[in-house]
Amino acid sequence: MSEGGEPSRKEKWSPGTEVVGRFNFDGTSRDDLPFRKGDILTIVAASKDPNWYKAKRQDNKEGMIPSTYVQQRSAVKLHAMPWYHGKISREEAERLLHPRKDGLYLIRESVNYPGDFTLCVCFEGFVEHYRVFRQNNLLTVDQEEYFENLTKLVEHYQADADGLCTRLRKALDKQGQLDYDIDRSEFRKAGWAIARKDLVFGQRLGGGEFGEVFNGDYRGMKVAIKTLKDEQAVQAFLAEASVMTALRHPHLVQLLGVSLDGGPGQPIYIVTEFLAKGCLVDYLRSRGRSLIRKKDQAEFSRDVASGMAYLESKNLVHRDLAARNVLVSTEGKAKVADFGLAREATHNLEGGKFPIKWTSPEALRHSKFSTKSDVWSYGIMLWELYSFGRVPYPRVPLAEVTQHVESGYRMESPDNCPPEIYSIMKRCWDIKPELRPAFSLLYGELDVLAAKS
Backbone φ/ψ region at 295: left (φ over 0), alpha (ψ -120 to 50), beta: alpha
How many residues interact with ligand ADP (rule CB under 6 A)? 19
SS (H, E, C) 293-353: CHHHHHHHHHHHHHHHHHHHHCCEECCCCCHHHEEECCCCCEEECCCCCCEECCCCCCCCC
Q: Which of 278, 355, 414, 433 binds ligand ADP (CB under 6 A)?
A: 278
Residue 213 interface partner, choices ligand ADP, Mg ion, none, CB cut-off 5-8 Å depending on type? ligand ADP
Q: Which residues contact 98 (CB under 8 A, 6 or more apart)?
A: none
Residue 193 contact among ligand ADP, Mg ion, none, beta carbon within 5 to 8 Å by kind: none
Q: Which of 71, 151, 259, 325 binds Mg ion (CB under 5 A)?
A: 325
Sequence-distant (6+) residues with CB within 8 A of 419 are 413
Given the rule CB under 6 A, which of 4-12, 75-83, 274-282, 292-300 is the region that contacts ligand ADP? Answer: 274-282
Of 39, 183, 296, 320, which one is the catalytic site residue?
320
Minimal CA–CA distance to 259: which of 213, 183, 194, 202?
194
Nearer Cβ to Mg ion (85/357): 357
Picking from 114, 119, 130, 234, the residue whose alpha carbon sits closest to that of residue 180 is 234
Q: Does 377 bind Mg ion (CB under 5 A)?
A: no
3-state secondary structure of 255: strand
The distance of closest approach from Cβ of residue 177 to ligand ADP in the complex, given in angstroms and rounded to an integer, is 21
Alpha carbon distance 345, 314 (integer Å): 9
Binding residue for ligand ADP (CB under 6 A) from 53, 192, 274, 386? 274
Structure letter (DSSP) for residue 33: -
Q: Which of Mg ion, ligand ADP, none does 377 bind, CB closer than 5 to 8 A by kind?
A: none
Task: State the nearest-atom distance from the C-beta of 308 to Mg ion, in Å.
Answer: 16
Tell me, what DSSP letter sits at residue 270? E
First-to-last C-alpha distance (Å) of the chain = 49
Are the CB atoms for 433 and 368 separated by under 8 Å?
yes
Subset of residues 152 to 171 that bind ligand ADP, contact rule: CB under 6 A:
none
User: x/- contact string, 308-347, with ligand ADP (CB under 6 A)?
Assistant: ----------------xx-x---------xx-x-------
When the beta carbons of 206 and 263 are compared against ligand ADP, the nearer one is 206
Binding mask 333-372 for Mg ion (x = CB under 5 A): -----x----------------------------------
Beta-carbon contacts of residue 77 (< 8 Å; ≥ 6 apart):
186, 242
CA distance 326 to 275: 10
Contact indicator for 333, 303 with CB cutoff of 8 Å: yes
**Minimum CB distance to ligand ADP, residue 59 (Å):** 20
Under rule CB under 6 A, which residues in 243-262 are in contact with ligand ADP? Answer: 253
The single residue among 15, 163, 206, 263 that binds ligand ADP, judged by CB under 6 A, is: 206
DSSP letter string, 103-141: TEEEEEE-SSSBTBEEEEEEETTEEEEEEEEEETTEEES
Q: How far is the CB of 287 from Mg ion (least distance, A)?
A: 20
Ranked by CB distance to Mg ion, the top (closest) residue is: 338
From ligand ADP, Mg ion, none, which one binds at residue 279 (CB under 5 to 8 Å depending on kind)? ligand ADP
> Strands 179-181 and 199-207: what pairing?
unpaired
Partner interacting with residue 94 (select from ligand ADP, Mg ion, none; CB below 5-8 Å by kind): none
Q: How many Cβ atoms are within 10 Å of 143's Cβ, its own excluded?
A: 8
- How near is the Cβ of 245 to ligand ADP at its closest, in Å? 16
- Which option in Mg ion, ligand ADP, none does residue 327 bind, with CB closer than 5 to 8 A by kind? ligand ADP
The answer, yes or no, to whether the previous bond of 99 is cis (omega within 30 of 0) is yes
415 is catalytic: no
- Of the listed pieces 181-189, 310-318, 320-328, 403-411, which binds Mg ion according to CB under 5 A? 320-328
Distance, CA of 57 to CA of 272 (rounded, Å): 17
Q: Can you tell me which of 70, 120, 213, 239 binds ligand ADP, judged by CB under 6 A?
A: 213
| Residues forming the active site | 320
- Interface positions with ligand ADP (CB under 6 A): 205-206, 208-209, 213, 224, 253, 272-275, 278-279, 324-325, 327, 337-338, 340
- Interface positions with Mg ion (CB under 5 A): 325, 338
